[in-house]
Amino acid sequence: MVMATPKSIWYCTNCGNESPKWMGRCPACGEWNTMVEAPVEKKSASGAKGMATKSSRDRKPLNLKEIDRSKEDRVLLGIPEVDRLLGGGIVPGSLVLIGGEPGIGKSTLSLQIPLNSGLQTLYVTGEESARQVKMRAERLVAGAALPTESANDSNTLVFCETRIEDVIAQAGEIKPDLMIVDSVQTMFTDTVESTPGSVSQIKEVAAMLLRFAKESGVPVILIGHITKDGYIAGPKILEHIVDVVLQFEGENRGAYRILRSIKNRFGSTSEIAVFEMTGTGLKEVENPSEMLIPMHEAGLSGAAICATLDGTRPLLFEVQALVSSAVYGTAQRSATGFDTRRLNMLLAVLEKRAGFHLSAKDVFLNMAGGLKVSDPAADLAVIAAVLSSNFDYSLPGDSCFAGEVGLSGEIRPVAQTDRRIGEAARLGFKKIFVSSFSSLPDNLPKTIKVVKVADVPALVKALFKNA
């Protein structure tokens, strides 16, 4: 019996999971109402599929010793922080996705790359006219210490095109050192029926670019938009296809932009780089901790400094909490940059293990600079900030925190506590609160006092004796 081929397929906009039928809840990630319908690609499409079979016919499996590793040599993009996030430059033949909300700086960064590196770059734009790109390039060159004297000296080829077959044909002819495609949502292929920006177009365009990158060895940077609620979640679906995902975080309104590596086949993940958006493009911030630590004088309640580790680098930033009596019947809990479920859990621990009645209070939590924090070491600072706001009693400005809080109220040690202590001391902190169960080396800096706390009641005692 021949099965009828389905006309549509459903994708989860949250995790990219595929399903032959609609479901209210995605079975892979458990999110509700995230499945969207997309037509199945035309079977007769010869372009993409045919291309792959033809070239794979000449390919054979290789013995490990025959594989030439020197091809993995990295290409530097001329922006040291971006090169560091990538793991020491971009790998030839790799596909890198740069995602972020509109207006956050994706196009700016992607134009700074060819201007700074001097690489021969095919800059494909489906969003701006060539004139707009030129004007932007002139602004970027004007403000930077770049190898290029003017936008006219750069080795950048601007190509305004949205049909991906034409883009790949040009790239194949030019064989640039680097190709940048801005953005995946504006590109389309004839082999898929749906409109540009739809899930199946995005998947197919990315797959074709990946094939081009792998076969030609040209590294490709792909730009992708995401919205705040992640609804037009192209990049989520793309994450499975591409080699590296760098995601912009932070508030568009603020001057700071955080670029985080959330997937990297050739390096470590959850590293971040911090940039400042200036009138002449993005500038690297060398000491991000200094920027995330408050400008205001110590003495405000509800603020605590947390010593986290982003990937491999210690990073200190401010956690802000506001606790107030609930106006409506049910208390509100809201967290920016921190998991709300985790906040609820920490509030329950405070209630159950330390006797604070917060259930009738609204609790708002905010991580400085629009940072998204997943390091469990932030727990201790969150609790300290919540209690500080609750008592309206400010914490000493020269103290910081690094510890995970367990369900029974115990404070657990966190990875690489000694490096966090080192960074805190370097930034001039005099006191750091850590778990009693941390094992610490003897050669810690002398300028900082390490206060060990075993559980939440011990923390409360140490901080709020006088409150």
Residue nearest to Mg ion (CB): 107
221: partner contacted, choices ligand TYD, Mg ion, none (Cβ within 5-8 A by kind): none
| 98: partner contacted, choices ligand TYD, Mg ion, none (Cβ within 5-8 A by kind) | none
Report in angstroms the alpha-carbon separations of 233 from 8, 198, 199, 355.
Answer: 18, 10, 8, 42
- 105 or 176, CB closer to Mg ion? 105
Dist CA 317 CA 310 (whole Å): 11
Size of the site for Mg ion (CB under 5 A): 1
Residue 336 contact, options ligand TYD, Mg ion, none, Cβ 5-8 Å cut-off depending on partner type: none
- Least Å from the CB of residue 128 to ligand TYD: 8
Please, what is the minimum distance in Å from the beta carbon of residue 165 to ligand TYD? 24
Q: Are 403 and 386 in contact (CB under 8 A)?
A: no
Q: Which does 103 bind (CB under 5 to 8 A by kind): ligand TYD, Mg ion, none?
A: ligand TYD
Of 108 and 117, the one with the shorter C-beta distance to ligand TYD is: 108
- Shortest gap between Cβ of 451 and ligand TYD (angstroms)? 42
Among residues 78, 54, 3, 120, the alpha carbon closest in space to that of 281 is found at 78
Which of 107/200 has CB closer to Mg ion?
107
The C-alpha atoms of residue 153 and residue 144 are separated, in whole angstroms, by 14
User: Smaller CB distance to Mg ion: residue 99 or 176?
Assistant: 99
SS (H, E, C) the chain: CCCCCCCEEEEECCCCCEECCCCCECCCCCCECCEEEEECCCCCCCHHHHHHHHHHHCCCCCCHHHCCHHHHCCECCCCHHHHHHHCCCECCCCEEEEEECCCCCHHHHHHHHHHHHCCCEEEEECCCCHHHHHHHHHHHHHCCCCCCCCHHHCCEEEEECCEHHHHHHHHHHHCCCEEEEECHHHCECCCCCCCCCCHHHHHHHHHHHHHHHHHHCCCEEEEEECCCCCCCCHHHHHCCCCCEEEEEECCCCCCEEEEEEEEECCCCCCCEEEEEEECCEEEECCCHHHHHCCCCCCCCCCEEEEEEEECCEEEEEEEEEEEEECCCCCCCEEEECCCHHHHHHHHHHHHHHHCCCCCCEEEEEEEHHHCCCCCCCHHHHHHHHHHHHHHCCCCCCCEEEECEECCCCEEECCCCHHHHHHHHHHCCCCEEEEECCCCCCCCCCCCCEEEEECEHHHHHHHHHCCC
Answer whether 239's CB lies under 8 Å from 97's CB: yes
CB of 143 to ligand TYD, least distance (A): 7
Q: Among Mg ion, ligand TYD, none, what binds residue 78 when CB lies within 5 to 8 Å by partner kind?
A: none
100 binds, among ligand TYD, Mg ion, none (CB under 5 to 8 A by kind): ligand TYD
Q: 136 is in the binding site of which of Mg ion, ligand TYD, none (Cβ under 5 to 8 A by kind)? A: ligand TYD
Nearer to ligand TYD, 192 or 282 (CB): 282
Measured from the CB of residue 355, what is the shortest distance to Mg ion in angstroms? 52
Q: Of these partners, Mg ion, ligand TYD, none, which one is at the site of residue 283 (CB under 5 to 8 Å by kind)?
A: none
For residue 411, the one-letter residue type is I
Site of interaction with ligand TYD (CB under 6 A) = 100, 102-108, 136, 139-140, 277, 279-281
State which residue, 81 or 101, has the beta carbon closest to Mg ion: 101
What is the distance between the alpha carbons of residues 118 and 391, in angstroms, rounded to a whole number? 56
Site string for Mg ion, 81-110 (x = CB under 5 A): --------------------------x---
Minimum CB separation from ligand TYD for residue 314, in Å? Answer: 29
Is residue 20 within 8 A of residue 12, CB to CB? The reply is no
Nearer to ligand TYD, 105 or 314 (CB): 105
* In the complex, minimum distance from the CB of residue 343 to ligand TYD, in angstroms, rounded to a whole number: 29
431 binds, among ligand TYD, Mg ion, none (CB under 5 to 8 A by kind): none
Smallest gap from Cβ 69 to ligand TYD, in A, equals 35
Q: Report what 293 binds from Mg ion, ligand TYD, none; CB cut-off 5-8 Å by kind.
A: none
Query: Would you say 227 or 344 has its CB closer to ligand TYD?
Result: 227
Q: Quick one: what does residue 245 bind among Mg ion, ligand TYD, none, with the CB cut-off 5 to 8 Å set by partner type?
A: none
Q: Which is closer to Mg ion, CB of 98 or CB of 273?
A: 98
**Minimal distance in Å, beta carbon 352 to ligand TYD?**
44
Q: In the complex, what is the shortest distance from the CB of residue 112 to ligand TYD, in angstroms, rounded to a whole number?
A: 9
State the minimum distance, in angstroms, from the CB of residue 116 to Mg ion. Answer: 18
Based on its alpha-carbon atoms, the radius of gyration of the chain, rounded to whole angstroms, reads 25
Residue (187 or 427) nearer to ligand TYD, CB: 187
Comparing CB distances to ligand TYD, the nearer of 103 and 254 is: 103
> Which residues contact Mg ion (rule: CB under 5 A)?
107
